Amino acid sequence: MRFVIIGGDAAGMSAASRAKRNNPEMEVIVLEQTMDVSYSACGMPYNIADAEREMDELIVRKPEVFIKKNHINLLTGHRVDNIDRKSKIITGSKFLNNSESPVKFSFEYDKLLIATGASPILPDLPGIELPQVMILKSLDQGRLIKSYISANNVKQIVIIGMGYIAIEMSEAFRKRGIETILVKPGPEFLPWMARDLAGVVKTEMENNGVDLKTGYFVKNIVSKDKGVSVECEKLSLNADMVFVAMGVKPLSNIAKDAGLELGISDAISVDKQLLTSDKDIYAAGDCADAFDVITKQKCWVPLALRANRAGWAVADNVCGKSVSLEGIVATSVFKAFSLEIARSGLNLEQAIKAGFDPVENTVKTRSRAHGHPGSTTIYISMVGDRKTGRLLGAQMVGKEGVAHRINAIAVALHNHMSVKGFSGTDLAYAPPFSPVWDPLLTAANQLLKKL
Amino acid sequence: MRFVIIGGDAAGMSAASRAKRNNPEMEVIVLEQTMDVSYSACGMPYNIADAEREMDELIVRKPEVFIKKNHINLLTGHRVDNIDRKSKIITGSKFLNNSESPVKFSFEYDKLLIATGASPILPDLPGIELPQVMILKSLDQGRLIKSYISANNVKQIVIIGMGYIAIEMSEAFRKRGIETILVKPGPEFLPWMARDLAGVVKTEMENNGVDLKTGYFVKNIVSKDKGVSVECEKLSLNADMVFVAMGVKPLSNIAKDAGLELGISDAISVDKQLLTSDKDIYAAGDCADAFDVITKQKCWVPLALRANRAGWAVADNVCGKSVSLEGIVATSVFKAFSLEIARSGLNLEQAIKAGFDPVENTVKTRSRAHGHPGSTTIYISMVGDRKTGRLLGAQMVGKEGVAHRINAIAVALHNHMSVKGFSGTDLAYAPPFSPVWDPLLTAANQLLKKL
């Protein structure tokens, strides 16, 4: 049995390692187009923040370890271009050192995993190809940003986009002492968030010297002196570097070209066993979709845990174990300077779209007990369904106790708990860590009054 | 309708305030034997740690506010001695200022709430009555400890007991620069904990200069110079002060004398509506028992959240709303110097006792992502049932990310989740806050292999 994996990032390497653990006799081939596998991609902004740290600190395991220790046939620098489903052969090009023309390769497969990930969305505008314009997906791109900052003594950066990667990167740039301006066409900062909470994050950004320019559509980027000018209608911003963080899209072209079914956001459509519309081809990670546990509908939320878990599940299924993944509740967390920002489940708009009759309520509460020093404010917006009383989601912002608290919401959502049921849970209390009524319980109690 | 409440702490004042909110016309009488109501009792160790802070900072609301703003007939300095269930009259004694002999009082009630709390267990040994021997339940006792330390320049304290109050107080005393020795008869430190985890806490205590003397039974306390000597077989410890923290017992005598049914640990037995064996008498807070959601059996776990919640439920029931509390999963957290220590659900021994076929597994994992600076070790011990695959409980110890993470376990336990189900939950990930696989998921994944 030969198990071929396209892509050596979270999902791909999880699948490869687990397949060999399940079945050491299995032939596992991984084709990765970059030279890096198994690194903490999400750690890149924090590494970029610190000039002293090597990018390679983020590498969890080097390719040679997978090859020698795990006996995985890991081929870096190998880009797969085509899947021939009839003859079950993939073909691609490898780029040898010091060679300009790629060399073709091909492999037959018994089972195939597409784990090509996602890639940053690049706007179609003049100047996007300039060398000062950067994106962040691979470790090499991280290395490039870092060396570019040092080599060119970058003093001013414009970030196109205002999502969580843009926010994490703005923190990294500010830590390097770089003037940072974020620009986006939409009028609202973090539009998926409850307005009160988004306002708290916005203030934190501004207090840390980040300039947020909402409502500006970038028309082009032009060279200017050693840097560039980012041109919007009625606004032009000088920059030594431009960082594009307008979101990501699934890398599903290869699947599409092979006639596999795509789903929401053009992600590769998979069932709960991660199988695509071809019974011998799986897809996992940021290129594939998932089931939303709350709506029971398909969703596309490219996040690392799902990628790793899906990789494992594919390996188990390829090895005949028959594993199904129930789905996700879209839990995520990120940091913006001293704030922790977390969400799980649906926001008001998503809940309406999914056919619920949602009610949202926001509370402002304390991170520690009355009279305990060091207490800070926690904001929680919680959404419930009027018709059924179900808890649908929550968002939180605060300086402490947010990142891990959201997990209680995630578990509640997996269990289709009602707001009332959740409000009756026995959460932990000690003065240094929370008020007697945990902020989550206060949020549930207050939302209950509105339901 | 007259609603009389015995005890003005967490459960009593929660009930009183909520009853007046539910029904402003209701006559609500609260009888509290001390002069303080509504303060953060759990905050006392942290206040004692800081000589500069006033004990009164822990007061959430003063008696006069309840009286004037909430129109609660709150009577401090009133100790209830007797309940006459037939005639529905309580009688007691009040202690007037500058008066030596108590004055009797009595009230008729329509509905009665017993919220007398719990009190520290005092061992029956010679010298326990010495003025250097302290306990901590009321704010006055906290004030006394604090002023005694300052007035007598206390340099050495012996704590009898090694539970979480003893640990919190040892941290407080160490912060005041006081030599602190903990002594207890049992051979094991934190016997309810998985041994690996208890060992981590023990090391932290010792690294902070706390002397832990297990296996010593205190036989008596004798005066010595200005202080005392705590005498055990083969050990005598000098101390300027002795703090007794051997656990607490429910203050249920008044209920017992009135012929109400007591249950586990002599706590007042209540149903899910907090009703005692008398249809007009409720009990709530640390004097009453609760249902364990996991075992479906009665348990007695005196903690603040349950007290507050039970107080609310009693008020709702008294006001005709018919509220039932499902029960608790015994979630708790405390701090020991730089460690957070949390638990929820059953440990191995409790699980065996409850008739499960439990398996325990301990993992050691990281608090942050690979390559993220500042990562520390998190220890998790998780218990599951071999027969059904159910998650039964977890304990955690670590320097960060423990106190709030335990809430995910609590919610899972409320939902009778399996270890497998829990291992499939969509928990939050970002490099500053956790590895891709949250420590809880790693714990579940590892336990699954053993089940």
The β-bridge partners of B213 are B183
Say yes or no to pLDDT of A98 above 90: no
Chain B residue numbers touching A440 (CB-CB < 8 A): 407
Distance CA A51, CA A387 (A): 53
Q: Bigger pLDDT: A114 or B95?
A: A114
Question: Along the 451 residues of chain B, how does pLDDT read in single tens digits?
Answer: 999 999 999 999 999 999 999 999 999 999 999 999 989 999 999 999 999 999 999 999 999 999 999 999 999 999 999 999 999 999 999 976 666 788 999 999 999 999 999 999 999 999 999 999 999 999 999 999 999 999 999 999 999 999 999 999 999 999 999 999 999 999 999 999 999 999 999 999 999 999 999 999 999 999 998 899 999 999 999 999 999 999 999 999 999 999 999 999 999 999 999 999 999 999 999 999 999 999 999 999 999 999 999 999 999 999 999 999 999 999 999 999 999 999 999 999 999 999 999 999 999 999 999 889 999 999 999 999 999 999 999 999 999 999 999 999 999 999 999 999 999 999 999 999 999 999 999 999 999 999 9
Chain B residue numbers touching A329 (CB-CB < 8 A): 425-426
Residue A220 lies in a domain: yes
Q: Which of residues 6-25 of B touch A (CB under 8 A)?
A: 10
DSSP 8-state symbol, B10: H
Whether residues A372 and B430 touch (CB distance < 8 A) is answered with no
Task: Give the N- to C-terminal CA distance of chain B in Å, as an integer.
Answer: 55
Distance CA A52, CA A55 (A): 10
Chain B residue numbers touching A401 (CB-CB < 8 A): 403-404
Together in a domain, B240 and B258 = no
Distance CA B436, CA B442 (A): 10
Chain B residue numbers touching A305 (CB-CB < 8 A): 426-427, 429, 436-438, 441
Domain residues for the domain of A377 are 332-450
> What angle do the packed helices A10-22 and A304-318 form, to 10 degrees?
30
Residue A416 lies in a domain: yes
Say yes or no to pLDDT of A331 above 80: yes
Q: Are B200 and B397 in contact (CB under 8 A)?
A: yes
The β-bridge partners of B395 are B343, B381
Residue A406 lies in a domain: yes
Structure tokens given for A121: 């969305």
Give B305's Cβ-side CA count (13 Å radius). Answer: 27
> What is the total residue count of chain A?
451
Determine the longest span between alpha carbons in chain A, in angstroms.
71
Together in a domain, A135 and A203 = yes
Within 10 angstroms of residue B60's Cβ, the number of other Cβ atoms is 16
pLDDT, tens digit, for every residue of B159-173? 999 999 999 999 999
Q: Phi and psi at residue A70, in whole multiples of 5°?
A: -95, -5
Q: Out of A20-29, A54-63, A163-172, A440-449, pick the least confident.
A: A54-63
Distance CA A32, CA A7 (A): 5
Q: A163 CB contacts (<8 Å, ≥6 apart)?
A: A190, A245, A246, A247
Say yes or no to pLDDT of A97 above 70: no
Q: Please give the share of chain A, as a percent, with pLDDT higher than 90.
A: 96
**How many domains does chain B divide into?**
3
User: What pLDDT shows up at residue B101?
Assistant: 80
Helix (H, G, I), strand (E, B) or coil at A213: strand
Using the structure block, give the residue that is written with the tokens 């507050």. B308
Among residues B336, B365, B309, B430, the alpha carbon closest in space to that of A433 is found at B336
Distance CA A196, CA A327 (A): 30
Residue A326 lies in a domain: no
ipTM: 0.97
**The Cα angle at residue A325 between residues A356 and B393, in degrees rounded to 5:** 90
Q: Domain with B234 in it: what CATH number?
A: 3.50.50.60
* B299 is an active site residue: no
Q: Which of residues 46-105 of A touch B (CB under 8 A)?
A: 46-47, 50, 53, 57-60
Together in a domain, A308 and A262 = yes
pLDDT band at A106 (very low <50, low <70, confident <90, very high): very high
Whether residues A46 and B334 touch (CB distance < 8 A) is answered with no
User: What pLDDT shows up at residue B27?
Assistant: 98
Together in a domain, A168 and A267 = no
Nearest neighbour of A428 by CB, restricted to B293, B308, B333: B333
Together in a domain, B162 and B259 = no
The alpha carbons of chain B give a radius of gyration, in whole angstroms, of: 23
Q: Are A266 and A251 in contact (CB under 8 A)?
A: no
pLDDT band at A99 (very low <50, low <70, confident <90, very high): low
The count of CB pairs under 8 A between chains A and B is 228
Residue B325 lies in a domain: no
pLDDT, tens digit, for every residue of B353-388? 999 999 999 999 999 998 899 999 999 999 999 999
The alpha carbons of chain A give a radius of gyration, in whole angstroms, of: 23
Q: Are B31 and B6 in contact (CB under 8 A)?
A: yes
Nearest CA in chain A to B437: A305
For the range A360-365, what are the long-range contacts, defined as Cβ-Cβ under 8 Å and sequence gap of 24 or more? A360/A194, A360/A447, A361/A443, A361/A446, A361/A447, A361/A449, A361/A450, A362/A194, A362/A196, A362/A197, A363/A439, A363/A442, A363/A443, A363/A446, A364/A196, A365/A435, A365/A439, A365/A442, A365/A443
A332 in contact with chain B, both atoms CB, cutoff 8 A: yes
Q: Are B6 and B116 in contact (CB under 8 A)?
A: yes
pLDDT band at A102 (very low <50, low <70, confident <90, very high): confident
Together in a domain, A39 and A13 = yes
Could you say which of A221, A244, A267 is where a domain stops? A244
Determine the longest span between alpha carbons in chain B, in angstroms.
71
Whether residues B426 and A328 touch (CB distance < 8 A) is answered with yes
A325 in contact with chain B, both atoms CB, cutoff 8 A: yes
For the range A67-72, what are the long-range contacts, defined as Cβ-Cβ under 8 Å and sequence gap of 24 or more? A70/A16, A70/A17, A70/A20, A71/A20, A71/A24, A71/A28, A72/A16, A72/A17, A72/A20, A72/A28, A72/A29, A72/A30
Q: Which of residues 418-437 of A touch B (CB under 8 A)?
A: 421-422, 424-434, 436-437
Q: What's the 3-state SS for B299-360?
A: ECCCCHHHHHHHHHHHHHHHCCCCCCCCCECCCEEEEECCEEEEEEECCHHHHHHCCCCEEE
What burial class does residue A322 get, using C-beta atoms within 10 Å of its C-beta: 0-12 exposed, 13-18 middle, 19+ buried? exposed
User: What pLDDT shows up at residue A289?
Assistant: 98
User: What pLDDT shows up at residue A66?
Assistant: 95
B372 in contact with chain A, both atoms CB, cutoff 8 A: yes
> What is the total residue count of chain B?
451
Q: What's the 3-state SS for A261-315?
A: CECHHHCECCCCCCECCCCCEEECCCCECEEECCCCCEECCCCHHHHHHHHHHHH
Rounded to 10 degrees, the C-alpha dihedral B420/A275/A139/A35 comes to: 120
DSSP string, A13-78: HHHHHHHHHH-TTSEEEEEESSS--SB-GGGHHHHHT-TTS-GGGGBSS-HHHHHHTS--EEEETE
Distance CA A289, CA A283 (A): 9
Residue B279 lies in a domain: yes
Say yes or no to pLDDT of A100 above 80: no
Together in a domain, A209 and A348 = no
Q: Across chain A, what does the average pLDDT equal?
A: 96
Among residues A21, A36, A110, the alpha carbon closest in space to that of A72 is found at A21
User: What pLDDT shows up at residue B98?
Assistant: 62
Together in a domain, B303 and B352 = no
Helix (H, G, I), strand (E, B) or coil at B40: coil
DSSP 8-state symbol, A189: S
Structure tokens given for B315: 């008020």
User: What pLDDT shows up at residue A101?
Assistant: 80
Nearest CA in chain A to B431: A43
Together in a domain, B257 and B230 = no
Give B431's Cβ-side CA count (13 Å radius). Answer: 18
Whether residues A431 and B42 touch (CB distance < 8 A) is answered with yes
> What angle do the packed helices A406-414 and B406-414 form, to 10 degrees?
20
Q: Which site among B411, B441, B448 would you substitute to test the A interface, given the most A Cβ atoms closer than 10 Å to its Cβ?
A: B411
Give how far the C-alpha of residue A139 lies from the chain's centroid of Cα atoms, to the nearest Å. Answer: 15
Alpha-carbon distance B107 to nearest alpha carbon in chain A (angstroms)? 31
The β-bridge partners of B11 are none
Structure tokens given for B291: 């249902």
Using the structure block, give the residue that is written with the tokens 């060396």. A147
Among residues B433, B366, B431, the alpha carbon closest in space to that of A47 is found at B431
Could you say which of A264, A292, A318 is where a domain stops? A318
Chain B residue numbers touching A344 (CB-CB < 8 A): 426, 428
Chain A residue numbers touching B328 (CB-CB < 8 A): 426
Q: Please give the share of chain A, as a percent, with pLDDT higher than 70.
A: 99
B323 in contact with chain A, both atoms CB, cutoff 8 A: no
Residue B50 lies in a domain: no
Together in a domain, A77 and A111 = yes
Together in a domain, A238 and A137 = yes
Together in a domain, A6 and A83 = yes
Residue B323 lies in a domain: no
Could you say which of A270, A296, A318 is where a domain stops? A318
